[in-house]
Amino acid sequence: MKKDIENREDLYLLVKTFYVKLMNDAEIKHFFNEFNNPDLLEEHLQVLVNFWDNILFYSGGYRKNAMQPHLEMNKKNPITENHFNIWLSRFKSSVDDLFFGENAHAIKSRAESVAIVMKIKISEQNN
């Protein structure tokens, strides 16, 4: 039986699983080429753990502007609605593959909110 997301270790497992999916997805893997370097990937996974730990458990451990790197990425390689849909689908499937419960449901809901905000900001940048 699957357990709920309870701590940073669970979040690490989630983001690592998620990034394996992203980095193997033919339509979006080009956004993640820099993370073929294991050291850069590990560093980024820790940032993601901090981000989701703050989002889910209000840890206060993430103080960066999450939007800025994505806006920079969009300037170099435009992020489309389809890319967001793939990102969200891979995130939700990673959660569902590993976890079940209140926090698992909450993190998927918050990922939807993150995707909406990012779509709006990137759309504003593109216009």
Q: Where are the domains of the chain?
A: 8-126
Structure-token match 């998620």, residue found: 18
> In sequence order, which ranges of 30-101 are alpha helices (DSSP H)?
38-57, 67-76, 81-98
Residue 113: how many CB atoms within 10 A of its CB?
A: 10
Predicted local distance difference test score (pLDDT) of residue 104? 99
What are the pLDDT digits (tens) for 105-114?
A: 999 999 999 9
What are the pLDDT digits (tens) for 75-103?
A: 999 999 999 999 999 999 999 999 999 99
Q: Is the pLDDT of residue 127 over 90?
A: no
Q: How far is the CA of 108 from the CAs of 4, 14, 85, in angstroms? A: 12, 12, 13
Q: How far apart are CA 15 and CA 19, in angstroms?
A: 6
* Region 8-126: CATH code: 1.10.490.10
What value, to the nearest 5°, has the Cα angle with vertex 85 and ends 22 and 28? 35
Q: Is the pLDDT of residue 58 over 90?
A: yes
